[in-house]
Amino acid sequence: MSRENVPFAASDVRVQASLTRRIAAGPGLLLAGLALLALAAFMLSLAVGSVRIPLDEIVAVLLGGDASKPAWATIVLKFRLPKALTAMLAGAALSVSGLQMQTLFRNPLAGPFVLGISSGASLGVALTVLLAGVAVGLGGSTTLLAGISLAGDTSLALSAIVGSGLVLLLVMSVARKVQSGMTLLILGLMFGYTTSALVSVLIYFSVVERIQAYISWTFGSFGGVTWRQLQVMAPAILLGLAGGHLLMKPLNALLLGETYALSLGLNVRRVRLGIIGSSAILAGVVTAFCGPIGFLGIAVPHLCRSLLHTSDHRLLLPAVTFMGATLAVGADIVAGLPGSQLTLPLNAVTALLGAPVVIWVILRQRNLRQAFAG
């Protein structure tokens, strides 16, 4: 009614703007904290295991020096370092992929595993591992390849990427038509059943050693990745992570829903393909080298949202990267049962630790909508 409300003093704006900047400094500190936490987890994972190695010795080895015991240098450089790097990359990759899926599908239960991306990757790997065995068996030669060559790793990764990418494209094409998140979840579930059925058919006709290899792959492990394999895995994941971070603005626009995103000038179709692409690379590559690792992808975005109290992807993307890396390394440390010679299947640990965390986060929210970003 009164026109006095409309004009406003410029100084007023400046105060308000500086206030918002100060508020933004909080999350910045939190991000730095999360990065330090990831670094600490990384160092810890180098230190603990069946043998305990002092931190100063690790630093010396990492800087190219010698450890007081030569065996320690070997343990750190040949076993623990690639494993820790793999865990960090995998955790970051799965978490970013999960965040992207939750925002794209506007569903708090979405994640790389739930929508069948990992199932697709599993089928791809099963086809490669088990069918190759059948082919070799039919060819008359029963000798199994003792180690997997670099070319072999690449084909394994490729088959996982193709498998996960195909599933995602299928989910997306259906997603465009149905628009209901629940339908998509059921669809993902059905993909899971279908792929496991196909895998069991493959297992039925395969040879025991191949089956063993496939089953131990499904347990999930960061330990099996060698330096040579890391040369394939690390660039692919870093590429996927970079792609994911480039999409922070479109992801924020998608929080409003696709129609609003479109009205904001977003090329929704292209962005959707970009999200699917980076998500498929991230989830597919991790699944190929480490097995289908559950839970991290769903749990980490929820943890970060409740920690940072925001659904802004400019903060969430780096946050889930650090948090995912930290938790993956943490889960690996627990699975290694420090001080013992035993190891637990990684997937058992992520689920046993992850499920209660998700339950706790969800119950703490007054309303589920607050817990996720869509």
Partner 1 sequence: MTDATVLRTEDLSIGYRRVRNAPVVVASDLNFSLQPGELVCLLGPNGAGKSTLMRTLARLQPPLSGQIWLDERRLDDLRPGQLARRLSIVLTDRVDVGAMSGYGLVSLGRHPYTGWTGTLNEQDERIVQWALQAVRAKDMSDRLTVEMSDGERQKVLIARALAQQPRVMLLDEPTAFLDLPRRVEVMDLLRQLASENSQAILLSTHDLDLALRNADRLWLLSADGELFDGAPEDLILNGAFERVFSAEGVTFDRERGSFHTRQEACGRLRLEGDGVAAFWTRRALERIGYAVEKEGENGNSASYASNLHPRQSVSGAVSVRMEDGRLLYRLDSGGREDSFTSLNELTTYLRRGGAGGDTDAKVDEDLYARR
Residues lying near partner 1 in the complex (CB under 8 A): 1, 3, 5-6, 8, 12-13, 16-17, 20, 23, 106, 246, 248-249, 252-253, 255-257, 259-260, 262-267, 305, 309-312, 314, 367, 369-374
What is the nearest approach in angstroms of partner 1 to the Cβ of residue 14? 9
Q: Which is nearer to partner 1, 266 or 327 (CB)?
A: 266
150-178 vs 268-290: helix crossing angle, rounded to 10:
140
**d(C-alpha 267, C-alpha 270), whole Å:** 6
What is the nearest approach in angstroms of partner 1 to the Cβ of residue 309? 5
Q: Which residues contact 331 (CB under 8 A, 6 or more apart)?
A: 87, 296, 346, 349, 350, 353
What is the nearest approach in angstroms of partner 1 to the Cβ of residue 109? 14
Token pair listed for 104: 């794209």
Long-range contacts at 145-153 (CB < 8 A, ≥ 24 apart): 150/228, 150/229, 150/231, 150/232, 153/228, 153/229, 153/232, 153/289
Could you tell me which of 219, 215, 347, 349 has the C-alpha nearest to residue 294? 347
What is the nearest approach in angstroms of partner 1 to the Cβ of residue 29? 18
Q: Which is nearer to partner 1, 11 or 141 (CB)?
A: 11
What is the nearest approach in angstroms of partner 1 to the Cβ of residue 13? 5
What is the nearest approach in angstroms of partner 1 to the Cβ of residue 176? 14
Q: Which residues contact 345 (CB under 8 A, 6 or more apart)?
A: 219, 220, 221, 335
Q: Which is nearer to partner 1, 29 or 138 (CB)?
A: 29
Q: Which is nearer to partner 1, 12 or 139 (CB)?
A: 12
**d(C-alpha 281, C-alpha 239), whole Å:** 9
Over its C-alpha atoms, the chain yields an Rg (Å, rounded) of 23
Q: Which is nearer to partner 1, 293 or 371 (CB)?
A: 371
Q: Which is nearer to partner 1, 5 or 340 (CB)?
A: 5
What is the nearest approach in angstroms of partner 1 to the Cβ of residue 263? 5
Q: Which is nearer to partner 1, 195 or 311 (CB)?
A: 311
User: Does residue 298 contact residue 358 with C-beta atoms inside 8 Å?
Assistant: yes
CA distances from 314 to 58, 147, 248, 285, 317 (A): 34, 42, 6, 24, 6
